[in-house]
């Protein structure tokens, strides 16, 4: 998910903004993990592994959605969680302690776009979920993964097809097409700041020297009635769209969004029972060729 930071010459104000943005993103990552946990598990179960991995690297781990799903699936494995955000990694370590798996998790704070990569060992599985499109030079990252992966090891790249949709398509109380216009308005920002979002990673993996073992797209359609977390997930997602698209949407759309985002109001998205989570998640599995 994109971070668009306002320009400011006040370093203290900018630092505070970054901290808040980091906390907001951590919340949405946690909700993503909670709501889409079954889909993460199904992707891991699908991976064409030759044996159970023992040393796993989670590239761009965030707050640990992939880390903990991998630990659950492979009880003999240790996971090295790598992320640029100290706040995300602190949150991940707290979860690891709470789940009593802290002896199987190590965190590394690193900028994966930096020229010098940290020593991440020789993993037999590298997992990169919703992180590759954030890389400034993904081809270099792919080559780095190719160099460190153990012989016969697997590299799994997982990407979500943008922000999920939550609102019913033709609800009479909503402005028709509101969510679609919100998404369209953020696409320009995404294209500018995240040019690799929505990329086909298959040819890029092949160009980096990998053999593509498989590709799978999973349709996600989760009824909101199954989890109250869906409402909070929708709230966090629409708040981010509201912030990013404020200059591009007409006043009537912004007013409709504000009604949905007013948690104390009668039209709050948290009060609705007609939400669903609709998106797609694609995984590419590649091995050293």
Contact 48, 154 (CB under 8 A): yes
Return the structure tokens found at 85. Answer: 């955000």
Return the structure tokens found at 183. Answer: 């998404």
* Helix, strand or coil, per DSSP, at residue 58: strand
pLDDT for residue 162 is more than 90: no
| Mean pLDDT on 110-130 | 93
Q: Report phi then psi at 199, rounded to 5.
A: -70, 155
| Mean pLDDT on 218-245 | 86
The pLDDT confidence band at residue 35, using thresholds 50, 70 and 90, is confident
- Using one digit for the tens of pLDDT, what is the confidence trace for 255-268? 999 999 999 999 99
Bridge partners (DSSP) of residue 276 are 223
Residue 208 per-residue DSSP state:
T
Q: Report phi then psi at 160, rounded to 5.
A: -95, 140
- Output the pLDDT for position 23: 67
Pick from 29-33, 86-90, 178-182, 240-244 the range whose average pLDDT is largest. Answer: 86-90
């Amino acid at each position: 998910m994109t971070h668009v930071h306002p320009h400011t010459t006040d370093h203290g104000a900018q630092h505070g903004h970054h901290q808040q943005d980091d906390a907001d993103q951590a919340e949405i990552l946690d909700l993503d993990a909670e709501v889409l946990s079954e889909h993460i598990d199904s992707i891991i179960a699908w991976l064409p592994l030759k044996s159970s991995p023992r040393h796993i690297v989670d590239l761009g781990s965030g707050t640990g959605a992939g880390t903990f799903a991998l630990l659950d699936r492979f009880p003999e494995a240790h996971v090295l969680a790598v992320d640029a955000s100290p706040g995300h990694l602190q949150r991940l370590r707290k979860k690891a302690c709470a789940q009593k798996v802290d002896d199987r998790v190590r965190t590394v704070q690193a900028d994966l776009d930096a020229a010098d990569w940290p020593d991440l060992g020789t993993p037999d599985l590298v997992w990169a979920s919703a992180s590759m499109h954030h890389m400034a030079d993904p081809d270099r990252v792919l080559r780095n993964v190719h160099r460190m992966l153990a012989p016969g090891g697997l590299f799994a790249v997982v990407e979500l097809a943008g922000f999920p949709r939550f609102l019913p398509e033709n609800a009479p109380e909503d402005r028709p097409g509101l969510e679609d216009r919100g998404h369209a308005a953020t696409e320009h920002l995404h294209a500018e700041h995240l040019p690799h979002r929505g990329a086909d990673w298959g040819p890029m993996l092949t160009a980096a020297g990998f053999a593509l073992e498989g590709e799978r797209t999973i349709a996600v359609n989760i009824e909101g009635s199954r989890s109250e977390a869906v409402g909070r997930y929708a709230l966090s997602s629409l708040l981010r769209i509201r912030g990013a698209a404020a200059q591009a949407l007409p006043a009537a759309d912004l007013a409709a969004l504000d009604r949905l985002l007013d948690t104390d109001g009668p039209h709050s998205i948290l009060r609705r029972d007609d939400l669903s989570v609709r998106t797609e998640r694609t995984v590419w599995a590649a091995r050293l060729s």
